Structure 1
Amino acid sequence: MFKNTFQSGFLSILYSIGSKPLQIWDKKVRNGHIKRVTDNDIHSYVLEIEGANVSTTYITCPADPKKTLGIKLPFLVMIIKNLKKYFTFEVQVLDDKNVRRRFRASNYQSMTRVTPFICTMPMRLDDGWNQIQFNLSDFTRRAYGTNYSETLRVQIHANCCIRRVYFSDRLYAEDELPAEFKLYLPVQNPKSKVSLYLRARCTWDNVMGSVRHLTSFCFYLFCSSNDSCLSRAVVKFSQINFNVVLLSLLSLFLLDLYVLTVFTVHNHQ
């Protein structure tokens, strides 16, 4: 779809308040619904995906199963609301060996598994709205020892609310984002300790750099609440190769932690 399009900066594939947010998406619904609703937190339209079974209610892009996205930008960013139900999404990429790999994250798994064609991993979201950032290039290199070429398909399953899904050429600080790519929240009580907006970065940087097979890695979630209190949640991606667990643990102690810049939620006033 976008293979012959000049790609730089930002490339959006879903925006909930657009005239046709699912124009390039296909949807499957069984015992659930996919509809646009007004979110109580941001007082604006969002796309709500809910279903009794995550595998039977989802949206997928591109709509034509014979087509691919052809997006070469390496960062996938999704603004998602946690509905405190089962939720999963999947990204299919192509590497420089011309092999299709899939990365699937879900909030109901406890271990990471890597096979030649799919990597499944646990995911933890904070309450409310979250911004998830995936470094697809780094994931491909760490999991399979190959280089990321392009993204072929994105599939988002129940249960969640979606504000926007887009790709970018790099990670942008909050003040660098165009206004339409930000999530504006209404003014809250300054004493509130509720974390309204989570920025999550999923990366394999500095984790087992010299070990090609996945041992373990961490998913650092940083969130900033209105009272400027920083909370951090760490989800440890467990290892399937138990023969190198000791090596993994030793290496983790020697890692230089990749520091995220804590940003302040910009409330819409």
Structure 2
Amino acid sequence: MFASVVQPSIVSLFSSTGSAPLQLFSQHVDPAPVLRSDSLIHLLNDTTNLPPPPEPGVLVQASFTSRSSEKDDNEKADSDTQRVGRTLCQTVLHIQSPTLRTTYIRCPPHRSSSSPSKTPVTLGLTLPWMHMQVCRLGEREWAFEVGIADRAGRKGVIRCSTFQKEATVVMHHDPPLLHVPLRFPEASARPFTAWSSISIDLASLIQQFHLISSSQRAEYESFAHTQDEGHENDVPNERIAREHSGMSAPLPSGGLGKVTYVKVYANCRLRRIWLSDNKRGALPWEFELYASP
């Protein structure tokens, strides 16, 4: 999509306040009939939750309730324990589903089966930093992933999720998958907003494919050696053995070549996704978060 154009220092892929927020994305909602009310992708106002989703969709509660205007200090003191964050006075994208992996948005869009070309479309962006403004939906799990290729063309997937406990490389995934845990700040009694800004250094994470897989390999070999010595009680870790059954898969390394795709799964509210050439560059005013009064 962008490989043949001159790329500026900031490229915005998604803005919920734009005229066509999902123009660069395809949408996929879990098709199971029993989940028709729970799986949805819907644009709404973060403060009012309006407009409501089409029937039979029912919104789940987000991880906050809006602060109403306090009439006096006493009322404020009584209400603070119940209100844990301000909402945004803006339109945002609401993505929810009990089946996280089957409800998502993706850029570039999936090519339709009727398309004459079989060559997959990739983003082709070379900017190394990815940023996202997001709010979790209660205690529901959430994930997003980024497809990358190094300068030699070796591909990989970086997945960040709230349900992952430790960083691991899934070798039998095609292409290899680096799965890293995602932690949000602990809930505070007086946060300005329940929204978070996430920034990830894609170029740095490419190096973790080899570092983490080497650690996993050493752990697997240690278990295998223990078993060879006849220690029947020391059973090799099944996950490690499974991940290393395909150690011949080429791992990305070196510098970032390009970003191939971005995918955001349920469950979250999303305001913006952009890529940049550094972490702390000056941002246009419209990139900032504005809470409702």
Q: Is the TM-score greater than 0.5? A: yes
Q: Which residue of structure 2 aligns with residue 16 of structure 1?
A: 16
Shift of 1:98: 1.1
Structure 1 counterpart of 2:136, which letter?
N
Structure 2 counterpart of 1:24, which letter?
L
Q: Which moved more, 1:176-185 or 1:162-171?
A: 176-185
The equivalent position to 2:261 in structure 1, one of 133, 138, 153, is 153
Q: Secondary structure of the residue that 1:137 maps to in structure 2? A: helix
Which is higher, the Rg of structure 1 or of structure 2? 2
Structure 1 counterpart of 2:24, which letter?
I
Shift of 1:20: 1.1
Q: Which has the higher helix share?
A: 2
Q: Is residue 95 of structure 2 the alignment partner of residue 79 of structure 1?
A: no
Shift of 1:53: 0.6
Contact 2:89 2:290 in 1 (8 A): no
**How large is the RMSD of aligned CA atoms in angstroms?**
1.4
Q: Is residue 10 of structure 2 the alignment partner of residue 29 of structure 1?
A: no
Flag the structure with more relative contact order, 1 or 2, with Cα contacts below 8 A and sequence separation at least 6. 2
Shift of 1:142: 3.4
Could you list the runs of 5+ residues in structure 1 that have no partner in the other structure? 188-269
Structure 2 counterpart of 1:112, which letter?
A
Could you list the runs of 5+ residues in structure 2 that have no partner in the other structure? 48-86, 112-119, 188-193, 211-252
CA distance in 1, matches of 2:184, 2:132: 12
CA distance in 2, matches of 1:139, 1:86: 22
Structure 2 counterpart of 1:118, which letter?
L
Q: Which residue of structure 1 aligns with residue 76 of structure 2?
A: none
CA distance in 2, matches of 1:51, 1:82: 12
Q: Secondary structure of the residue that 1:185 maps to in structure 2? A: coil
CA distance in 1, matches of 2:204, 2:159: 15
Q: Is residue 63 of structure 2 the alignment partner of residue 56 of structure 1?
A: no
Structure 2 counterpart of 1:94, which letter?
A
Structure 2 counterpart of 1:7, which letter?
Q
TM-score, normalised relative to structure 1: 0.66
Shift of 1:180: 1.1
The equivalent position to 1:125 in structure 2, one of 179, 184, 187, is 184
Aligned 1:78-117 pairs, distance under 5 A: 78-84=132-138, 85-116=140-171, 117=176
Q: Which residue of structure 2 aligns with residue 164 of structure 1?
A: 272
Q: Is residue 45 of structure 2 the alignment partner of residue 38 of structure 1?
A: yes
What number of residue pairs does the alignment pair up?
185
Structure 1 counterpart of 2:137, which letter?
L
Q: Is residue 181 of structure 2 the alignment partner of residue 135 of structure 1?
A: no
Q: List per-residue Cα deviations over 1:36-67 (Å, max 9, x = no partner).
A: 01112112100000011101110011013420
CA distance in 2, matches of 1:104, 1:92: 9
CA distance in 1, matches of 2:283, 2:153: 33
CA distance in 1, matches of 2:27, 2:184: 24
Q: Which residue of structure 1 aligns with residue 289 of structure 2?
A: 183
Q: Is residue 124 of structure 2 the alignment partner of residue 70 of structure 1?
A: yes
Structure 1 counterpart of 2:204, which letter?
D
Contact 1:141 1:148 in 2 (8 A): no
Identity %: 30
Shift of 1:141: 2.4
Change (3 A) 1:120 1:142: closer
CA distance in 1, matches of 2:292, 2:280: 23
Q: List per-residue Cα deviations over 1:59-114 (Å, max 9, x = no partner).
A: 01101342000000000000001212110111000012211110111101212111
Q: Secondary structure of the residue that 1:140 maps to in structure 2? A: helix
Q: Secondary structure of the residue that 1:110 maps to in structure 2? A: coil
Q: Secondary structure of the residue that 1:3 maps to in structure 2? A: coil
CA distance in 1, matches of 2:209, 2:289: 31
CA distance in 1, matches of 2:292, 2:46: 11
CA distance in 2, matches of 1:64, 1:158: 18
Q: Which has the higher strand share?
A: 1
Contact 2:152 2:257 in 1 (8 A): no
Structure 1 counterpart of 2:287, which letter?
F
